[in-house]
Amino acid sequence: MPKLKLLILDAGVVIKLHDWGLWGQVIAKCDVHLSSIVAGRESKYHQVDGDDWDQDIALGQAIQDRTIFIFEVPATDILAFKNRFDANYFCDLDDGEAESLAYLTSQRKLDFKISSGDAIVYKVLGNLNIVDQGISLEELLQQIGFSRRINEFQYTKVFRDQMTASGSTDRIQGRGLSILDS
Amino acid sequence: MTFGSRLKWARESAGLTQKQLSEATQIGESSLSEYENDGRDPSALQLVRIGEVLKRRPEFFFETGESQQEVVLWREKPTADAAQIELQLIELADQYQRLEQCVGNPSLVSLPFVDAGRQNFDYPDAERLAHDFRMSHSLGERPGSSLLRVLEEVCRVKVFHLPFEPTGTAACTLDDRYGAAILLNSNNIRWRRNFDLAHELFHLLTWRLFRAGTHVAEASDCEEKLAQCFAGALLVPAEPLKLAIAAQRRGNKSLDFDDLFEIARQFDVSVQAIVWQMVNNRIIDKAKASTLLENIQGRVNLWEKRKDEIPPPARPIRYEALAREAIEKGMIGTGVFAKYMGISRRAAMKIIETEIYPGSEYQASAEIEIVDP
């Protein structure tokens, strides 16, 4: 059985998998790709500072061993991706999410899947009409054989479906993409 | 401007040397020099790091046209890190406006600005401006209790609270991008912040009058005195002050410190502000007022050291509400929510998991149709 080719998008998913102790099993069963910004910056946002997180996420060894892959997108391409949308369609896109989405769309990675806990990502997928390239954490875990009950709404299939549908509706009604793109 | 020249401009605006930026971003000095000279571009990750330190979004570095330096007007610049505090204020105001544009009210600011061409603006004009503002915004006889809310909710002024030294100072800024913003000192006690708020409001109202010319980032002594006059007249209107004094005197010929403090408390200003308004309204003699203030300085200081008040949050409640709405509606992600709220990503995840999305199942019944008249 080939590994699931997967792009884990936001740092929240990386942190959540570490939180649940499933990170090692996921990277063993999937080709995990992380944007350089998520790997180098955003997954380190949780530094212990009075909150309840007391583990450090060290991705260095996995990157060195090539058990996860890091991709980089030029800053100008990320900007070009953001500029495809109306200025007020989203308020602000995470730099790591922007790099991941730019990678996915500019290089037409059709067999990649994106997993996120953020509505904004699925809305963008819906709006770009690439709805099948989203995968919730719940679906991901099911596909690789973990039947874990997900209590956090933003990691469920229902959430992904709702937000993707919202982006698709925006596309049909002409909201979101700039005139040149639509 | 090229990418490199914008980078250099932003670094210098932040008051940083290449060495300091190098240390803060862990990018080599020689690399930074190459970027500034348009020798090559930084990676996306490096640009994020640079943007984080210089408090600029990555997009900023690719904008065309000349960079416009935002003007932040201080009563007295903080002794340390003034440039960083200014950048923080501008960044917060910018984020607030982005939230307003996406999920709130996109109108920038609604203030009755004084015309740029107005001649000979003097104390009676400042008092008149205070009177008109108080009346037009229904601030009532105790304006101190409602000024902050009216400025935030009606005038769309973005008011933030940060700690800095010296305590007796505040700042304001006005820009086409983010509108009007005021920075108050969270180390100050509430009645001091109230006066600062009114003082900074004067600078905003007269921005077009006084912020033209070569010294736009500095207020003259005269302008500062006008701002003090405006603040006093706005927060302590003459007639309500006289009535409060009459009620407090209870037939006595004089007022003691406790009486003065009681009146100041009612108006939500300091004892000094009350005393100077009594002078301005010819209720007490100026020389005697100066002597009195010298005599009571010790007691005033003791009062102001009281720590029975919770410091105000850095960001207004509306800002936080908009940020929560933005994440729920897919306008921002967790990382941006964390950055906007000044919290860790982990803390942001917890808020989103436990406070924002658990309510989603109630969304369908959380709408009510408005009956058109």
Are residues B193 and B279 located together in one domain of the fold? Answer: no
Are residues B150 and B251 located together in one domain of the fold? Answer: no
Is residue B186 pLDDT above 70, yes or no? yes
Q: How confident is the model over B111-140, as pLDDT tens digits?
A: 999 988 878 899 999 999 999 999 999 999
B68 compared with A46, residue with greater pLDDT: B68
pLDDT score for A90: 86
Residue B67, in any domain of the structure: no
Is residue B272 pLDDT above 60, yes or no? yes
Residue B309, in any domain of the structure: no
Q: Give the residue from B209, B229, B249 where a domain finishes.
A: B229
Cβ separation B345–A74 shorter than 8 A: no
Are residues B124 and B205 located together in one domain of the fold? Answer: yes
Indicate the DSSP class of residue B41. P
Those residues whose C-beta lies under 8 Å from the C-beta of residue B199, and which sit 6 or more positions away, are B75, B170, B227, B228, B230, B231
What ipTM was reported for this prediction? 0.90
pLDDT score for A49: 52
pLDDT band at B1 (very low <50, low <70, confident <90, very high): confident
Query: At B27, which CATH number?
Result: 1.10.260.40
pLDDT score for B18: 94
Are residues B287 and B321 located together in one domain of the fold? Answer: no
Q: How confident is the model over B81-101, as pLDDT tens digits?
A: 888 899 999 999 999 999 999
Q: Where are the domains of chain A?
A: 4-172
Are residues B147 and B223 located together in one domain of the fold? Answer: yes
Cβ separation A37–B48 shorter than 8 A: yes
Task: Kindly list the residues from chain B whose CB atom is less than 8 angstroms away from the CB atom of residue A158.
Answer: none
Is residue A45 pLDDT above 70, yes or no? no
Q: How confident is the model over A117-142, as pLDDT tens digits?
A: 999 999 999 999 999 999 999 999 99
pLDDT score for B360: 55
Residue B325, in any domain of the structure: yes
pLDDT score for B53: 93
Q: How much is the average pLDDT of B258-277?
A: 91
Residue B370, in any domain of the structure: no
B15 compared with A43, residue with greater pLDDT: B15
pLDDT band at A52 (very low <50, low <70, confident <90, very high): very low
Cβ separation B327–A118 shorter than 8 A: yes
Distance in Å, alpha carbon of A51 to nearest chain B alpha carbon? 7
B99 touches chain A (CB under 8 A): yes
Please tell me the total count of domains within chain B.
Answer: 4
- Give the nearest partner residue to B345 out of A40, A45, A87, using CB atoms: A45
Q: Which of residues 89-108 of A touch B (CB under 8 A)?
A: 90-97, 99
A175 touches chain B (CB under 8 A): no
pLDDT score for A48: 47
Cβ separation A78–B58 shorter than 8 A: yes
Angle of helix B271-280 relative to helix B221-235, nearest 10 degrees, comes to 100
Are residues B152 and B57 located together in one domain of the fold? Answer: no
Closest CA to A81 of B334, B58, B342, B214: B58
Task: Kindly list the residues from chain B whose CB atom is less than 8 angstroms away from the CB atom of residue A75.
Answer: 41-44, 47, 58, 62
Residue B310, in any domain of the structure: no
Is residue A58 pLDDT above 60, yes or no? yes
Is residue B306 pLDDT above 80, yes or no? no
pLDDT score for B116: 83
Q: How far is CA A148 from CA A96, B6, B353, in A?
A: 27, 49, 17
Give whichever of B10-14, B187-191, B198-202 has the largest mean pLDDT: B198-202
Residue B281, in any domain of the structure: yes
What is the average pLDDT score of chain A?
Answer: 84
Q: Give the residue from B304, B327, B343 where a domain finishes.
A: B304
B297 compared with B224, residue with greater pLDDT: B224
Is residue B189 within 8 A of residue B173, CB to CB? The reply is no
Structure pTM? 0.90
Cβ separation B99–A91 shorter than 8 A: yes
CATH of domain A4-172: 3.40.50.1010
Neighbours of B300 (CB within 10 A): 17
Q: How much is the average pLDDT of B233-258?
A: 90
pLDDT score for B140: 93
Are residues B223 and B78 located together in one domain of the fold? Answer: yes
B175 compared with B169, residue with greater pLDDT: B175
pLDDT score for A39: 86
Percent of residues, chain B, with pLDDT higher than 70: 96
CA pair distance B69, B341, nearest whole angstrom: 25
Q: How much is the average pLDDT of B364-369?
A: 60
Q: Which two tokens stand for residue B321?
A: 């509400």
Residue B345, in any domain of the structure: yes
Residue B189, in any domain of the structure: yes
CB contacts < 8 Å between A and B, how many? 138
Q: How much is the average pLDDT of B230-252?
A: 92
SS3 A154: helix
Is residue B22 pLDDT above 90, yes or no? yes
Are residues B88 and B182 located together in one domain of the fold? Answer: yes
Residue of B nearest to A99 (CA): B44
CA pair distance B71, A148, nearest whole angstrom: 54
- Tell me which of A103-112, A156-165, B133-142, B316-325 is least confident: A103-112
Are residues B83 and B203 located together in one domain of the fold? Answer: yes
pLDDT score for B255: 86
Are residues B18 and B92 located together in one domain of the fold? Answer: no
Domain that holds residue B34: 3-62
Q: Which of residues 104-133 of B touch A (CB under 8 A)?
A: 106
Q: Give the residue from B211, B229, B247 where a domain finishes.
A: B229
pLDDT band at B359 (very low <50, low <70, confident <90, very high): low
pLDDT band at A47 (very low <50, low <70, confident <90, very high): very low
B312 compared with B360, residue with greater pLDDT: B312
Are residues B173 and B287 located together in one domain of the fold? Answer: no
CA pair distance A68, A31, nearest whole angstrom: 7
Are residues B300 and B332 located together in one domain of the fold? Answer: no
pLDDT band at B303 (very low <50, low <70, confident <90, very high): confident
Cβ separation B326–A91 shorter than 8 A: yes
Q: How far is CA A182 from CA A105, A170, B362, in A?
A: 15, 11, 34
Task: Kindly list the residues from chain B whose CB atom is less than 8 angstroms away from the CB atom of residue A74.
Answer: 41, 43-44
pLDDT score for A181: 60
Task: Kindly list the residues from chain B whose CB atom is less than 8 angstroms away from the CB atom of residue A45.
Answer: 335, 338, 344-346
SS3 B81: coil
pLDDT score for B362: 47
